[in-house]
Amino acid sequence: MTTTLQELTERVSAAVGEDSGLGKSFKVDLRGEGIIHIDGAQVSNDDKPADLTVSISQRDLKALGTGELNPMTAVITGRLKVSDMGLAMSLQPQMQALFSKLS
């Protein structure tokens, strides 16, 4: 069953709560399915600049959250692209915690 962008945005907003814990603005480009922009507790579908942009399909995002897809495997195979690998690596625990709340 496919989740709509609005449903996924609402899940992300609920998972973020009072603060994403990332300390940086973060944009998820769902590869043609829309954008989710996270900045602290603010979650929107605005395509605004962010400190880190992650490009991934909605299916692979869910697989990351459930642990079915390893983040490094996803990067190596091109299923996950990041705008700043160093920043992505430093935020990996926080991103994994956030993604796990979406599954």
DSSP 3: P
Residue 79 · residue 68 · CB < 8 Å? no
Provide the 10 A C-beta neighbour count for residue 93: 10
> Could you tell me the pTM of the whole model?
0.87
pLDDT in tens, 2-23: 689 999 899 889 888 888 778 8
pLDDT in tens, 30-85: 999 999 999 988 999 999 999 999 999 999 988 888 889 988 899 999 999 999 99
Provide the CB-side half-sphere exposure for 68 (13 A, CA): 7
Q: Considering only CA atoms, give the Rg of the chain.
A: 12
